[in-house]
Structure 1
Amino acid sequence: MVFGRISHNRTADAVVEQIELLILQGILRPGDRLPGERDLAAQVDVSRPILREALKTLEERGLTASRQGEGTFVADVIGTVFSAPVVGLIRRYPKAVEDYFEFRRGVEAWSSELAAERATDADREILSRIVAAMEEAHRGPDTEAEAALDLEFHTAIGEAAHNLVLLHTLRSCYRLLADGVFYSRSRLYGRPEARDAIMAQHRAIHAAIMAGDPRRARAAAEAHIDYVAAATRAADTREDRAHAASLRLELLTSRRQRRPALTRLAASGE
């Protein structure tokens, strides 16, 4: 059970504290639906009036949101780390992508290192299940499923690091990545050689965490981000070259189409 019985001090504050901690620890995620009022009151062992008071406090704090006829859900508390104006700047200036990789290299390495030191049996089981799903997706043609599991894998490492600030920072960063703000993951997963390389790198990170080897986990994470950054730059270069060549071809075709017309005009003396 996610929610535990409150054995002492059955007050609204105690209920609020339990749910806040579940959100802070990343156990309850944005969009998760809380149990119905009757069920939740029974699970935490408080009266329904006390529970209503607690839910009202959580909503006033912006941690939950009620939807008429649907229930109470954990609010989107992640996106506030990067404001809309900052996201707009990132989209308009490619330099931010380089800074993103520099930032992610540091936090991913630290996150993997902490996960190797702190992961519990449950954390390792979660990571192993995700990697097994990635292996299955990798054997098939569904690159979108594999890319989605990529983010799930890195999120699970952040959870296994057991650092609350790091966890929510990573989740905010991954939200922008999932939305394609920093770069398009489909460009990488659409290339078989890159897809194979990324899968091998994920295996290496997973193996180091499972072995409880912080140094190897850090090195594997750094190598992974270095590869993704280099592959993204290479993809950008290929696209720039393709665009330039396409424009040259278009102009060449246009010039050749115009030359016969100019020749006819000259011959007619017009």
Structure 2
Amino acid sequence: MRAQRVEDTPGGRLPAVADPLRPFESRSAGVATTERVLFGRLTTEDPVQAVVRRIRTAIGLGILTDGQKLPKEADLARQLGVTAFSLREALSALRDAGLIVTRVGKNGGSYVQRPPASDSIAEEQLTGLTATELRDLGDWRAVLVTYAAWLAAQRASAASSDRLASYAEELADADTAAAARRALGRFHVELAAAAQSMRLTRAELALHEEFDWLVQVLLRDETHRRAIVRTMLEVSATVRAGDAAAAWVAGEQLTAYLVTELTRSRLRLIAAGSAGPGPKRRRAGDIVAELRRISKQTVGILEDIADDVAAGVTMPPTSGELNGVVARSVLPRLGRVEDLVHGVGFMAEVGLLPEAEYWMEWWQRASDGTFDRDYSHQLDPSLDDFYEYGSQDYLTRPRATGRPNAMGPYIDHGGVDDYLVTVSLPVAREGTFLGVICIDIRVAGLERALSPWLARADGTCLVLNAESRVLLSNAVRYNVGDVLPQSSDLSLTDVGWFGWVVARAPEEP
């Protein structure tokens, strides 16, 4: 059957006969569902980006093929439920990305132009994620696959099971990682469509761009391909058998493999990117030694600032005086802090200043790597977004112990909205507690700094805080923020700072 081109169809609409998900010769309910979702009306506050994602996903899955002509702008805008202006903005963005080309003349219009797939793009996307972002994507992927498989086992036709198996075979026979990735994406979409759920299919198409693109990193390796194909075939077999419970387990196994291997690959890629400039002696040491070095340097900078602040103020201090003293103490040392440091500043003891019950000075790292003064903290207790730091561990513990403290990992809601560790040191003069000097460290930055050791570990390697909460991990089983069970048989090594330990276990045979 000749593949019917869009321009041959009435009104330039998408073909309604030929199956765009080759190599199958007849359309399926799953394919029809996918097309209805991809080219159905959009419900979003940002129609331009929504159109870009829809068309980019259609190209990525191979539903829109290289050289295929898009419908006329008026027809496509009407199908998607967006204005002509929004559609033109989206097409302009797709042209800039090299995904379509617009021609003038008798056969003018916009044509799909799939660029050569670059594995480096997938690598950049993977290494650009934090460990928690990858975990969250994996959680969402598991939710969709397991539930879709469970429903498909109860609702799918034999033809849908055949197509699922065919996509596994297509992945096995693919000659490039990009072609294998498209086969995996089609498998996931077909599974959702076989569940006969429009909402699952919409969610699956949205996740394709975020997750399945990353898997291209794995699909270059024949060992990974064989393992993925085996689990895909197991899913299709359980769906065909109508065994919903077994289909759920098979879907879970497929996702667990993908997320586990992506986690390992991510650490290896980050470690490889960290192998450039820098003292080689740091790469030859142990993760415990590197943690001790980072901790010692961080506390050393805080001690220098704290000494300057304590020596520079008079008692009782004023806010104007404290402002100048803190700035003169912090600014000269910003060049010494590690790249993983995200913020530095001083928080005054509550009620220290008569003119301001709460008072702080803070500097936050900007996108260009420099530090800018941060005025975003609301210190008026009468307002809803008041930043009440007085009861936080990073102030109360140094006050109580007179020692450095590390609080975290915790999510800085309303701030950077990411996992942080706050290292703080008490500042005192003449026996009076003035407040704390703090350094914020992003967990993602700490992981990047320690990735060579995490990637090189033969088995499980974790960094735990004083409450046995996971700070860093190279294993999918243990995620940032998890509390390690007391029954764990991991061997522990004391870091010597903040109650942190490194937990290890040999690789399972």
TM-score (norm 1): 0.58
Look up the equivalent residue of 2:192 and give its one-letter code.
G
Contact 1:151 1:174 in 2 (8 A): yes
- Show the counterpart of 1:173: 207
1:143 aligns with 2:163: no
SS in 2 for 1:189: coil
Which of 179, 196, 209 is matched with 2:226 structurally? Answer: 196
Look up the equivalent residue of 1:58 and give its one-letter code.
R
Q: State how far apart, in whole Å, the 2-side matches of 1:144 and 1:133 are.
A: 12
Q: State how far apart, in whole Å, the 2-side matches of 1:21 and 1:236 are.
A: 34
- Show the counterpart of 2:81: 61
Q: State how far apart, in whole Å, the 2-side matches of 1:159 and 1:117 are.
A: 13
Offset of 1:169 from its aligned partner? 0.9
- 1:152-205: CA deviations, max 9, x gaps? 111111111111111101101112335x4xxx3232122332222111111111
Offset of 1:242 from its aligned partner? 3.4
Q: State how far apart, in whole Å, the 1-side matches of 2:76 and 2:276 are.
A: 59
Structure 1 window deviating more from structure 2 (169-178 vs 25-34): it is 25-34
1:132 aligns with 2:162: no
Contact 1:112 1:209 in 2 (8 A): yes
SS in 2 for 1:111: helix
Contact 1:26 1:159 in 2 (8 A): no
1:159 aligns with 2:193: yes
Contact 2:167 2:187 in 1 (8 A): yes
- Show the counterpart of 2:272: 242
Contact 1:159 1:167 in 2 (8 A): yes
Flag the structure with larger Rg. Answer: 2
Look up the equivalent residue of 1:129 and give its one-letter code.
S
Which of 226, 231, 240 is matched with 2:261 structurally? Answer: 231
Q: How do 1:23-42 and structure 2 match up within 5 A? A: 24=36, 30=55
TM-score (norm 2): 0.33
Contact 1:26 1:167 in 2 (8 A): no
Offset of 1:247 from its aligned partner? 4.0
Q: State how far apart, in whole Å, the 1-side matches of 2:75 and 2:255 are.
A: 41
Offset of 1:230 from its aligned partner? 1.1
With a CA cutoff of 8 Å and minimum separation of 6, indicate the structure with the bigger relative contact order.
Answer: 1
Look up the equivalent residue of 2:208 and give its one-letter code.
Y
Which structure is higher in strand share?
2
- Show the counterpart of 1:45: none
SS in 2 for 1:188: coil
Contact 1:116 1:211 in 2 (8 A): yes
What percent identity do the matched residue pairs reach? 17
Look up the equivalent residue of 1:223 and give its one-letter code.
Q
1:103 aligns with 2:123: no
Contact 2:33 2:198 in 1 (8 A): no
Look up the equivalent residue of 1:153 and give its one-letter code.
F
Give the direction of change, closer, same or farther, for the CA distance of 1:211–1:99 in structure 2 (3 Å limit): same
Gaps of 5+ in 1: 4-19, 38-53, 74-87, 253-270
SS in 2 for 1:169: helix
Offset of 1:72 from its aligned partner? 10
SS in 1 for 2:216: helix
CA RMSD of superposed structures (Å): 4.0
Offset of 1:61 from its aligned partner? 2.1
Q: State how far apart, in whole Å, the 1-side matches of 2:154 and 2:278 are.
A: 55
Q: State how far apart, in whole Å, the 2-side matches of 1:22 and 1:199 are.
A: 22
- Show the counterpart of 2:311: none
Gaps of 5+ in 2: 1-14, 18-31, 41-53, 59-63, 89-101, 112-124, 283-509
- Show the counterpart of 1:120: 157
- Show the counterpart of 2:396: none
Q: State how far apart, in whole Å, the 2-side matches of 1:36 and 1:245 are.
A: 48
Look up the equivalent residue of 1:95 and give its one-letter code.
T
Give the direction of change, closer, same or farther, for the CA distance of 1:106–1:35 in structure 2 (3 Å limit): closer
Offset of 1:21 from its aligned partner? 8.4
Q: State how far apart, in whole Å, the 2-side matches of 1:21 and 1:211 are.
A: 23
Q: State how far apart, in whole Å, the 2-side matches of 1:98 and 1:208 are.
A: 26
Contact 1:120 1:160 in 2 (8 A): yes
Offset of 1:56 from its aligned partner? 9.2
Q: State how far apart, in whole Å, the 2-side matches of 1:204 and 1:226 are.
A: 14
Offset of 1:100 from its aligned partner? 0.7
Q: State how far apart, in whole Å, the 2-side matches of 1:162 and 1:229 are.
A: 26
Q: State how far apart, in whole Å, the 2-side matches of 1:22 and 1:203 are.
A: 21
Q: State how far apart, in whole Å, the 2-side matches of 1:241 and 1:147 are.
A: 25
SS in 2 for 1:162: coil
Give the count of matched residue pairs: 198
